[in-house]
Every structure is written in C-alpha cells, then in structure tokens.
Amino acid sequence: MIVDQIRESVLSGLKELYDQSFQEKDFQINQTRPEFEGDYTVVLFGLVKSLKKSPDALGHELGAKMVSNNPTLFTAYNLIKGFLNLTVSDTYWVDLLASNTDASCYGKGAPNGQRIMVEYSSPNTNKPLHLGHLRNNFLGWSISEILKGSGADVFKTCIVNDRGIHICKSMLAWDNWGNGATPDSTGIKGDHFVGDYYVRFNEEYKKEVKELVDRGMKEVEAEKEAPLMKATQEMLLKWEQGDPHIVGLWKMMNSWVYSGFDITYKKIGSDFDKTYYESNSYLLGKEDVEQGLKNGVFHQKSDGSVWIDLTDDGLDEKLVRRKDGTSVYITQDIGLARLKYTEFKIDQSIYVIGDEQNYHMKVLKLICQKLGMPFANDIHHLSYGMVELPTGKMKSREGTVVDADDLVDEMIRIARQHTMELGKVNDFTEAELDALCDTIGLGALKFYLLRVDPKKRMIFNPEESIDFHGFTGPFIQYTHARIRSILRKESIDFSHKPAGEGLLKLEKQLLIELEQFGNIILQSANELDPSQMAIYIYTLAKTYNTFYAEHSVSRAESEEKKELRLRISLLTAEVIRSGMAMLGIKVPDRM
C-alpha cells in the first residue's frame, strides 16, 4: 500500500540524513488537502524537536532525499509550513490498475490465523424483533464480514433469551386469554402473535396495580402483590421444576416465535453459525463459582449468597449466586464465555450489545480475569447507542416499538414509490421490480443504521434514508448501476497495460481513493466500526459521479484514455460492490 511505502521512505530518509532512528508514531501521513499540490502529506512537527531543525529546513532536506531515493515513486515535493507534500508518479497508479485485472478480491487480506467470534441479535422470545434489534443485527453481521475481509476466521453466534419472568408473562397471557388461538388460526406471524400477548399482559397488569393502589396500597407493594405478577412467578417456578404443562406451553409458544424470527432473519440477511439458548445455559457457571470460592476470588455471606468485591476496581459488590443456590445472569455469562472458548478455540470474543449493558460487560470481563480464564483479556464489548424515533424512546411492553418486519415493509414501499417516480424501470418485469425495490429499501435501511459511529445514539428517519441524492445507500447503489451500464456497452482489453502518462486530477483522485480500500478494511476491522466503510464507499461514489460529470468514458479524447477510464470504472464498481457487501447491502446492475 502506498502509505506503507511512504512511511518506509520517510524512515530510511531520516536514517540516511541524520543517522537517527524514528518510529511511525513520530510523524503522520495524510492525503494532501485538495487546495494544495501533491497526493500525500507528511506532517513533520513531531520530528523537529529531536532533530533541532526548523520545519522548512527539515522538509526540504527530507523531500529531496525521498524523491532522489525513489524516482519511480515520487516525481516532486513541495513544502507548506511544516507539511511535506509529495506527488506520486502516474506510473504507480496505472500499475495499480494493471495488477488488478481480477478486481473481485481486491483489497481483501490474506488469512491471518485469527479466530474471532461475534455474538449479536440476542432476542427475547416474548416479542418480535424491532428497530433496535435491526441495528444490532446489522452491526454484528457487518463487522463479521469486515473481519473476514481482513483475513480472520469468523464465527457468528446468537444467544436467545428464551426463559425468565418476561417469557412467562406472554405464556400466562395466552393461557388466560388466548382461547386456543394460534398463529395459523389467526394469520398472524408467530413472533408478532406472542408479542401481542406480552403487551396484553402488561395492560391487564397495570389495571390490577391501579385497582390495588386505589384501595390504598402503595404502588411499589401493589406491583409485587398484583395477582398476575404472583401467577407469573409461580409459572416460572413450575417451569424450573419441569412441570409438563408449563414446559409444553413454553415449547409451543417458543416454536411460534422461532418461526417468525426465521422469516425476519432471512428477509434482512442475518445468519448465525451457532445459536445458544439461555434455557440450556442458565445452569452454566456454577462450577466457576465453586472454583472462585476455593481460590478466594468470591466470598460467601452468612445467608449463603456468594459475592465478589470489585470496589478496588472502581465498581461495587456483585452477586454471583443467590442464597437459594440459583444462578444470576453474570454467572450464566461466565459459563457461556467458557463454553464458547472451549468449543471454538477463539482468539477474541466480541459481544454486540447496547450501551445500557456497559457496566455488566465490564463486570463480566473483570470476573473472568480474576478467575484466571485464558480468554478473559480477549473479551470485547462492541457497545452501541440506542436507535430512537423522532417521538422518543421505544417500549416493548407498551407496544410502542417499531417492529422490524413493519419497518422493512415500509422501506420497500417507499423504495417502490421513489423508483416509480424516477421512471427508469418501465422495461422491468414485476419480479425484477420487486427484487429491485427489496434491494433498494433494505439497502437504504442498513446503510442509514451503519453509517453512524456505533457508539453514538441515533434517530431513524425513513424518508431521509432513501434519498437518491444524499449520504444514503440508494445513492451508492445508483452509482454502481450507472457504472455497470457503461461497462455493458464497452469491452476492456486486459492484454496490455493501460497508458497512464498525464493523469487528470479526477482520474488520479479516484485511483488514490481506490488504493485505500485495503486500509479501510483493516481500519474498520481493528476499530470494529462499519461506519468507516460506509463513509469510504459513499466518498468513492461521490468522487466517481464528479468524475463522470466532467469526463466522458465512452467518448474519451483517445482510445488510450477510454481504456484507462474503463479500467478505473471497473475497479470502482468492484470496490463499491465489495464494500457494500461487507455492510450486507446488495448493489443492482440496473435501476
């Protein structure tokens, strides 16, 4: 990569000139700003003090040395107030095209031996997937693909929260008011069907609490004493005891939800190499608690409960086993972390979980470290901000969430409306039009949710996400379709190297951006941030559109220029396709 070559040239030039060794951190290399002449800029200020030279003197000496040492790489340099601007030879950029006749694998890293697990989705079986789950799924799936692109061996996993008091709420509501209805008998998708009963439970529960409060009971006490809450707790106890009726009801309702989830996952393109279930893992971690007691990591209180004191680490005391001997969530997570490591022999375990669980994940990693677990230091929490609506936060129990299915359908509807308004699909069959609208609608949704730094909270706006002219998925998809239209009409001769003397500014700018693709994959992978890929692909598409507006491809000034621009167009299309694929987004050849 060009940045690596520039870095090596800087280091060797400094060694030759001043007989001093420096490191990468002692200077910066950036792309030269558009208003200045050059392609890449070396920022010299970090070198000035140790060399006892002025920025100008250092810049001129180093620039001259780099050009003389690398005449085939650099053609010129200029200096502006401590910034050394280097002009890279046209030959370098043309060689980039010539060496990538098969652009389908361009930028991807060679296998690096890293085994990484990415856990995402983590739904509850008492409600359908919603907008927040979509950001989680898109982040987890995308970072998995980006890590694969960097050379890692990746395992995608999901933990399903299929037991607990919240699951019993839906079960109890169906038992009380379902009258034997099923998803098939009502025509309602399974996860939506069960979710409706979760909402019904909370509606009826609120009525009971209000009635008790009206009788003079305090609200906190009323919430505990409400008959529905007591019945739910009794149902959970019976489930844990293996009551045949309760377990049968649990299995039946979960099967409805799983069928619904499968439809949604298939539609949004989410998949997993392995799914774990809390009902199978909630007993895990008990051996770890016993070992921790023996080693003095944990301590037992007089009531029999087991705790760990993390106050010296800036946290607090944490319960790891209740006085009745039952596990808590952190105990299960410790056991599941060990199970994952044992099964897959992973080098890193990435948890894609919302930022409201930041504290929990800190505790999990710290306890695993204190227990001396070999994987503890490699636990990483990819924390992300919640997605909100213009009207505020969503609440499942109040039925105010945006269901994933409904949102995807709405995005496809908006995509169809905008596509028909553009009037360029009159020759499409109905099946082709349906496929195109699915691609545009889902692409718009994914890009909008992935273009933002995961750590930031965001507000989702469907109409803004599908604008064909903004920082959106459809804009990039349209650019790809435009390039493919050009390439369908022309053939490229790969038997010889394209002529490249006298590259125009936008030709070179495109080649500079294309050359950065491999670095962007590595950067996005290292920082677990798909937004960097989204921004890069958008910038590339925008540059190509500017280039296309100013320079004809099919009617170029010469055959040599035509061949060069066709090669640039092909590589641009492939990078857009590859980069968008890592975001889980398809790009159409026609639209």
Residues 384 and 419 in one domain: no
pLDDT in tens, 219-243: 999 999 999 999 999 999 999 899 9
Residues 489 and 342 in one domain: no
Q: Which of 398, 429, 446 is the last residue of a domain?
A: 398
pLDDT in tens, 108-158: 999 999 999 999 999 999 999 999 999 999 999 999 999 999 999 999 999
Residues 294 and 279 in one domain: no
Burial 337-372 (b: 16+ CB within 10 A, else e): bbebbeebebebbbbbbbbeeeebbebbbbbbebbe
Is residue 246 assigned to a domain?
Answer: yes
Average pLDDT over residues 558-582: 95
pLDDT of the residue at 340: 96
- Say which amino acid occupies 179: N
Average pLDDT over residues 455-483: 90
pLDDT in tens, 139-153: 999 999 999 999 999
- Banded pLDDT at 391 (limits 50, 70, 90): low
Does 500 score more than 90 pLDDT?
no
Q: Please state, for a pLDDT cut of 90, what percent of the chain lies above it.
A: 84
pLDDT of the residue at 476: 98
Q: Are 40 and 86 in contact (CB under 8 A)?
A: yes
Is residue 166 assigned to a domain?
Answer: yes
Residues 466 and 521 in one domain: yes
Q: Rounded to whole angstroms, how far apart are CA atoms 158 and 264?
A: 15
Is residue 44 assigned to a domain?
Answer: yes
Residues 390 and 499 in one domain: no
* Residue 303: other Cβ atoms inside 10 A: 8
Helix H or strand E encompassing 319: strand 317-321
- Banded pLDDT at 397 (limits 50, 70, 90): very low
Residues 23 and 162 in one domain: no
Is residue 201 assigned to a domain?
Answer: yes
Q: Please state, for a pLDDT cut of 70, what percent of the chain lies above it.
A: 97
Average pLDDT over residues 25-48: 94
pTM for this prediction: 0.91
Helix H or strand E encompassing 540: helix 530-550
Q: What is the mean pLDDT of the chain?
A: 93
Is residue 33 assigned to a domain?
Answer: yes
- DSSP bridge pairs for 274: 157
pLDDT of the residue at 282: 85
pLDDT in tens, 306-352: 999 999 999 999 999 999 888 889 999 999 999 999 999 999 999 99
pLDDT of the residue at 396: 43
pLDDT of the residue at 299: 96
Residues 361 and 451 in one domain: no
Is residue 95 assigned to a domain?
Answer: no
pLDDT of the residue at 501: 72
The number of distinct structural domains making up the chain is 4
pLDDT of the residue at 480: 98
pLDDT of the residue at 497: 77
Residues 243 and 191 in one domain: yes
Does 389 score more than 90 pLDDT?
no
- Banded pLDDT at 97 (limits 50, 70, 90): confident
- Which CATH number belongs to the domain containing residue 35 in this structure? 3.30.1360.70
Q: Are 245 and 235 in contact (CB under 8 A)?
A: no
Residues 514 and 436 in one domain: yes
- Which CATH number belongs to the domain containing residue 190 in this structure? 3.40.50.620
- Banded pLDDT at 101 (limits 50, 70, 90): low
CA angle at 76 for the pair 562 and 99, rounded to the nearest 5°:
40
Closest CA to 140 of 273, 280, 334: 273
pLDDT of the residue at 422: 85
Residues 265 and 299 in one domain: no
- Which CATH number belongs to the domain containing residue 536 in this structure? 1.10.730.10
Q: Which of 348, 373, 398 is the last residue of a domain?
A: 398
pLDDT of the residue at 499: 72
pLDDT of the residue at 283: 85
Does 266 score more than 80 pLDDT?
yes
Average pLDDT over residues 483-491: 94
Is residue 161 assigned to a domain?
Answer: yes
CA angle at 46 for the pair 45 and 47, rounded to the nearest 5°:
90
Q: Which of 266, 299, 325 is the last residue of a domain?
A: 325
Domain of residue 318 covers 287-325
Q: Are 106 and 362 in contact (CB under 8 A)?
A: no
Q: Rounded to whole angstroms, how far apart are CA atoms 236 and 337?
A: 25
pLDDT in tens, 505-545: 999 999 999 999 999 999 999 999 999 999 999 999 999 99
Residues 496 and 385 in one domain: no
Q: Rounded to whole angstroms, how far apart are CA atoms 326 and 476?
A: 52
pLDDT of the residue at 394: 43
Task: Give the 3-state DSSP-derived string for 510-526, with helices as H, strands as E and coil as C.
Answer: HHHHHHCHHHHHHHHHH
Is residue 588 assigned to a domain?
Answer: no
Residues 374 and 444 in one domain: no
